[in-house]
Amino acid sequence: MSTEPAAAETTSASAAPAEGQRDFVRQIIRDDLANGKHHAIRTRFPPEPNGYLHIGHAKAICLNFGIAREFAGWCNLRLDDTNPGKEDPEFVEGIKDDVRWLGYDWHDLRHASDYFEVFYRAAVKLIEDGHAYVDDLNADEMREYRGTLTAPGRNSPHRERSVAENLDLFRRMREGEFADGAKTLRAKIDMTSGNINMRDPAIYRIRRIPHQNTGDAWPIYPMYDYAHCLSDALEGITHSLCTLEFEDHRPLYDWFVDKVDLANHPELWTHLREGGFKTEPAKPRQIEFSRLNLSYCITSKRKLAQLVNERLVDGWDDPRMNTLRGLRRRGFTPGGIRLLIERLGVSKQNSVIDYAIFENCVREDLDASAPRRLAVLDPLKLVITNLAEDHEETLSFANHPKDESFGTREVPFARELWIEREDFAEVPPKGFHRLKPEGEVRLRGVGIVKCEELVKDAAGNVIELRCTLDLDSRQGMPGADRKVKGTIHWVSARHAVAAEVRVYDRLFNVAAPDDESDGKTWIEHINPEAKRIVQAWVEPSAAATAPEQRFQFERLGYFVADRVEHGAQKPIFNRTVTLRDTWAKQA
């Protein structure tokens, strides 16, 4: 059990009860503080380390850690490691990394496995109090006995075993005497309850499998509904925030907390004091909120794992994935994600949010934070014929046109340039304001050029434009203010650095990939254009940047230097998002 001081704690003293955001969760907390029910707010984020976190988890992270910060409380990161065999230390490290990347830190780092002895002692107490029994029914039989939503369940034939027999059987389960699935410890509640979760749910199952933290010490493991609520109570959590699918589990949550009653039974947990445990148990309140559902996305861990395992993507951090690792590698920002969560707010109404809203939040954050650079993704050569062949100069460009604090940079300029192929049309469509034969356009930061001649290859394709520069239109000259309708960007062919640019888009080409009403499986909805690789040219200062540096490539979109493979000798950039929503016109 380790303790790591939270960065949030160092700034939370001045936070006071937040007055900014208004939602039903924060109002409950304000009321609890105002009436003296709680003097400090305690929350937790409890992911299972059986995969990497995705965008859906971001809402829970921002809500739990954000509320703790707003109300000068603290939030624990607790790994729900009650299911060995599916969990991995690699995922633990990934979860910690993702939480920090989003801008949060934790008060204590905990594992459910830290409390295995407490859970066991509490289960013994439930047996002694007549609230639990050992059952011999197998999984199929338990399902049959449980009943349905319209039919009550039936009592197990083993439900009335004596306390002594149950204690003996549970002890022997703990000692590893029985095979997997041979016996189960169940709560004794009500098999006729209208809430199926209350029909004698399982507390412990036998699984003779090593645990990543406890090794072979335990052949039995607690169920989530049992371990989660007792972990909350043990850690003194005041508000246990979870998504709506746990609303029907709340009566069971409260039942376990009340029947075990950790606060009044210190013999169950005081042994933890020797390991540095200082928190006093409390009775937490579970509050449910709607989860984050985005169009064009899936958030099923099983399906995300299938994408990886079947090599339909390049790994958990593939920039097409909506895992936090994938979004990070794509160049999405923590600020953009937090902005999305803030704007969506917290409610009990399930809905699907248009992915464009997410992209716009990221654009807004990047517009303010990303310096500008010049790059050409589909190059066409442009030669300025009225400049000497050895002409070379350096131009000063603002790093950010809206923020002088970003400073300026030097950009090399020479006679031969690369421009975007789409910025020229031999037969221009109506309303085309870029370069065309005998047409003029302004070269960004240089002046006005006129297309005088086309050079074509044997197949008739334009491979070079020969233009003249109006020297009087250059900065500081009398004609600098002469107006033309189009402005295009460029890079110096002599100085530009070759770069691999990965043009990413949404992984799925339909808004609801899980909807198979069209006769296609969700995998068949994968967008074949979600990743394209192009050979591009970038100005030298872009190539020399560090991994994860984000830029706006002027007129093209927002890009990031790949966090894994980018280097000065082999620059690699990922497109984060276009400058505008390109999907709206497809809808």
Question: What is the per-residue pLDDT for 137?
Answer: 97
Separation of alpha carbons 290 and 59, rounded Å? 10
What is d(CA 192, CA 146) in angstroms, rounded to the nearest whole number?
A: 9
Question: How would you write the pLDDT of the chain (587 residues) with one tens digit per residue?
Answer: 344 333 333 223 333 344 567 899 999 999 999 999 999 999 999 999 999 999 999 999 999 999 999 999 999 999 999 999 888 899 999 999 999 999 999 999 999 999 999 999 999 999 999 999 999 999 999 999 999 999 999 999 999 999 999 999 999 999 999 999 999 999 999 999 999 999 999 999 999 999 999 999 999 999 999 999 999 999 999 999 999 999 999 999 999 999 999 999 999 999 998 888 888 999 999 999 999 999 999 999 999 999 999 999 999 999 999 999 999 999 999 999 999 999 999 999 989 999 999 999 999 999 999 999 999 999 999 999 999 999 999 999 999 999 999 999 999 999 999 999 999 999 999 999 999 999 999 999 999 999 999 999 999 999 999 999 999 999 989 888 999 999 999 999 999 999 999 999 999 999 999 998 889 999 999 999 999 999 999 999 999 999 999 999 999 999 999 999 999 899 999 999 999 877 665 55
- Catalytic residue check, 329: no
Active-site residue flag, 438: no
* Catalytic residue from among 9, 48, 364, 464: 48
Architecture of domain 117-224: Alpha-Beta Complex (3.90)
Give the pLDDT confidence score for residue 275 in this predicted structure.
82
Cβ pair 398, 408 in contact under 8 A: yes
Choice among 96, 100, 291, 466 that is catalytic: 291
Class of domain 2-112+225-289: alpha beta
Three-state SS for 417?
Answer: strand
Classify 379-489 by CATH class: mainly beta
**Given this model, what pLDDT does residue 32 score?**
96
Which residues carry a binding-site annotation? Answer: 48-50, 54-60, 80, 224, 243, 291-292
Q: Quick one: pLDDT at residue 181?
A: 93
pTM over 0.75: yes
Q: What is the pLDDT of residue 6?
A: 36
Nearest-angstrom CA–CA distance, 441 and 434: 6
In the chain, what are the domain boundaries? 2-112+225-289, 117-224, 292-374+495-587, 379-489
pLDDT at position 19: 54
Alpha-carbon span 326 to 307, nearest angstrom? 13
Domain at 292-374+495-587: CATH architecture: Beta Barrel (2.40)
Give the pLDDT score at 14.
31
DSSP 303: H
Residue 48 appears among annotated catalytic residues = yes
Three-state SS for 340? helix
Q: Which residues are registered as beta bridge partners of 443? A: 447, 488
Cα–Cα distance, 566 to 560 (Å, whole number): 10
What is d(CA 60, CA 44) in angstroms, rounded to the nearest whole number?
9
pLDDT, position 584: 63
| Fold equal for 292-374+495-587 and 379-489 | yes
Q: What are phi and psi of 275, to 5 degrees?
A: -95, 10
Binding residues for ATP: 48-50, 54-60, 243, 291-292
Q: Which residues contact 498 (CB under 8 A, 6 or more apart)?
A: 535, 536, 537, 571
Annotated binding site for L-glutamine: 80, 224
Catalytic site residue from 154, 301, 381, 494: 301
